[in-house]
Amino acid sequence: MKDIDKLKQFGAYTDEGLSRCFGNTDFYLKLVDMALADPNFDKLQSSLSNEDYSAAFEAAHALKGVLGNLSLTPMYNLASDMCEQLRPRQKVDCTAQAQRLIDLKKELETL
């Protein structure tokens, strides 16, 4: 069961994320769970392996928005970097970052 302390240890700026939810912890944690089910994680990986950089940019951009709003900072930073690299929608190697993002997602899931 996730709680705010575990999220803090994970590196999330929970105070900031919580304040966007008027301090409602349950609501915030529910949104974090929903974020983990976001189909853009899969879309990012599959579009990178298909070399569809336009779709990869869209997925990274969407994840950046969601992770930023929830202040899941370590993941947000990665999504943000990938977003900038993918912005020209041209071939770029960011599979390592994508893998790191998925690893962090898994880590968050097991909290």
Partner 1 sequence: MEKFIESTEIRRKVLVTDDEVINREMLKMILSRDYDVDCACNGEEALNMLRQGSYSLLLLDLLMPVLDGFGVIERCAHDEQLKNVPIIVMTSEKSAEVKSIRMGAADFITEPYDMPEVILARCDRIITLSESRTIISSTERDDLTNLYTRGYFFAYINRMLPNIECNMDAVVINLDRFHLVNELFGRPEGDRMLRETAGLISERLVGDKGIACRTEADSFYVFCVHRDNYEEALVDIQREIEARTGAKSVRIRAGVYKNIECGQDVESCYRRAKTACDRLRGGFGAHTEVYDNDMHEKELFDERLISDFSRSLENGEFKVYFQPKYNIESDVPKLSSAEALVRWTHPEFGFISPGQFIPLFEKNGLIRQLDEFVWDKAAAQVKQWQDEMEFTLPVSVNVSRVDAFDPLLSQKLTGIIDRHGITRDSLLLEITESACSEDSARFVEIVNDLREKGFKIEMDDFGSGYSSLNMLTSIPIDAIKLDMYFIRNMLTDETAFRLVKLVVDVSDFLGVPVVAEGVEKQEQLTVLKAMGCEVIQGYYFSPPKPPENITALIEKEIYDERHR
* Site for partner 1, rule CB under 8 A: 16, 19-22, 24, 27, 31, 34-35, 38, 58, 61-62, 64-66, 68-71, 76
Q: What backbone phi and psi angles, to 5 degrees, belong to 4?
A: -65, -40
* Pick 48 or 59: Cβ nearer partner 1: 59
Neighbouring residues of 91: CB distance < 8 A, sequence distance ≥ 6: 51, 53
Please state the closest distance from residue 31 (CB atom) to partner 1, in A: 5
* Pick 3 or 16: Cβ nearer partner 1: 16
Please state the closest distance from residue 70 (CB atom) to partner 1, in A: 7
Alpha-carbon distance 84 to 55, whole Å? Answer: 14
State both tokens at 28.
């915030």
Please state the closest distance from residue 30 (CB atom) to partner 1, in A: 8
* Pick 24 or 49: Cβ nearer partner 1: 24
Alpha-carbon distance 61 to 59, whole Å? Answer: 5
CB atoms within 10 A of CB 78: 23
